[in-house]
């Protein structure tokens, strides 16, 4: 189960200030903290308010790589910003993300192949927005899978995101996302990987952490491989570790939780 630590994001005040003042400390502390708690990837997002997005991305990537070896997930809607970040990444990175729009695919997939990066492909398009049901999501996922094949991106390097929405306002979407995951795994052999932005499911809800970890376990049972989530949420990490054992993906041992978090093994 790959956890993409979500904390280094300019929408958080401390990161926003750090980027503005070129203050490495908060960024590096979060990089270390998320890694130590078991994050497989660190998401890097400059936030919308950063003046010079390219400079901000470059600064974040360099700053993080000073203190951890954890691979990075570069999170931006601007693909030039992502490319500048990719140039500085010491390890193969994850491009977060690409919609199922042809012109975006044409910009992102060749870039991914060039920089040996992986891609989060969203099962949505500008035209259709977030599809209402599983069937329409799967159709867009199929386009992304075909594109991977076309551009030479290995299928295990494509992470399909079935898109989950806050349960208080879009309660019917979780079930559709679960079905999308199941079907996405049948799209090809080898199958693409799958990912969600987990915290979305509990936006502005009560019991956010409870909703997050319950959703994670349910999605894992449908074939979820990765989640952009709060890597410092111990209960979440413990639930993920436990789900892996229950799904027979990891041989049980008494220290299975610590082992999942340790990651250095």
Partner 1 sequence: MPVQVLRDRNSGKVAVVTLGATKEEGGTRSHTIKVGGEASLPFLHFEGENPYRPVIAMEVVDRVPEEWNSELKKVFADVYADPAAWAKKCVEEWGADMIFLRLQSADPELGNSSAEKCVQTVKSVLSAVGVPLAVVGCGIDEIDNTVIAAVAEACAGENLLLGFARQENYNTIVAACMVHKHTVIAQSPLDINMCKQLNILITEMGLPLDRIIIDPSIGGLGYGIEYSYSIQERGRLGALQGDKMLAMPVLGTIGFEAWKAKEANVSAEEFPGWGEQAERGILWEAVTATALLQAGMDILVMRHPEAVKLVKKNIDELMVPSAL
Tokens of 243: 């789900």
Q: Is the dihedral of CA 151, 125, 107, 228 positive or negative?
A: negative
**In angstroms, what is the minimal distance from the CB of 236 to partner 1?**
22
CB 256 → partner 1: shortest distance, Å? 9
| 38 alpha carbon, distance to own chain's centre | 14
Q: Which token pair is 86? A: 């990719």
Q: What is the C-alpha separation between 28 and 136, in angstroms, rounded?
A: 41
Of 20 and 244, CB closest to partner 1: 244
Sequential DSSP letters for 186-255: TSSSSPPEEEEEGGGGGTT-SSHHHHHHHHHHHHHHTT--EEEE-TT-HHHHHHHHHHHHHTTSS---TT
| Gap between the Cα atoms of 173 and 8, Å rounded | 27
Question: DSSP readout, 119-153?
Answer: EEEES-BTTTBS-SSHHHHHHHHHHHHHHHHHHT-
Tell me how far, at minimum, the Cβ of 259 lies from partner 1, in Å. 6
234 or 250: CB nearest partner 1:
250
Binding residues (CB under 8 A) for partner 1: these are: 190, 250-255, 258-259, 265
Q: How far apart are CA 24 and CA 46, in angstroms?
A: 14
Residues 224 and 35: their CA atoms lie apart, in Å, by 21
Alpha carbon distance 181, 162 (integer Å): 7
Smallest separation, CB 257 to partner 1 (Å) = 11
Nearer to partner 1, 21 or 248 (CB): 248
Q: How far is the CB of 190 from partner 1 (least distance, A)?
A: 7
Q: Please, what is the minimum distance in Å from the beta carbon of residue 71 to partner 1? A: 15
């Amino acid at each position: 189960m790959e956890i993409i630590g979500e904390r280094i994001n300019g929408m958080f005040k401390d990161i926003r200030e750090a980027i503005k003042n070129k203050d490495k400390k908060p960024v590096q502390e979060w990089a270390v903290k998320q890694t130590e708690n078991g994050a497989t990837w660190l998401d890097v997002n400059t936030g919308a308010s950063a003046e010079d997005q390219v400079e901000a991305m470059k600064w974040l990537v360099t700053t993080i790589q000073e203190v951890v070896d954890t691979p990075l997930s570069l999170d931006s809607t601007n693909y030039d910003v992502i490319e500048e970040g990719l140039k500085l990444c010491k390890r193969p990175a994850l491009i977060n993300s690409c919609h199922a729009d042809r012109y975006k695919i044409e910009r992102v997939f060749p870039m991914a192949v060039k920089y040996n990066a992986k891609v989060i492909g969203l099962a949505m398009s500008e035209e259709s927005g977030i599809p209402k049901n599983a069937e329409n999501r799967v159709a867009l996922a199929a386009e992304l899978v075909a594109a991977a094949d076309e551009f030479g991106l290995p299928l295990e390097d494509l992470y399909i995101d079935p898109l989950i929405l806050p349960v208080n306002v879009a309660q019917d979407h979780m079930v559709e996302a679960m079905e999308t995951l199941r079907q996405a795994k049948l799209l090809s052999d080898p199958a693409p990987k799958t990912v969600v932005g987990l915290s979305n499911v509990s936006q502005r809800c009560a019991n956010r952490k409870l909703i997050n970890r319950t959703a994670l376990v349910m999605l894992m049972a449908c074939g979820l491989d990765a989640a952009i989530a709060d890597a410092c949420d111990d209960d979440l990490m413990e639930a993920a570790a436990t789900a892996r054992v229950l799904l027979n993906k990891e041989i049980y041992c008494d220290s299975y939780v610590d082992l999942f978090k340790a990651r250095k093994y």
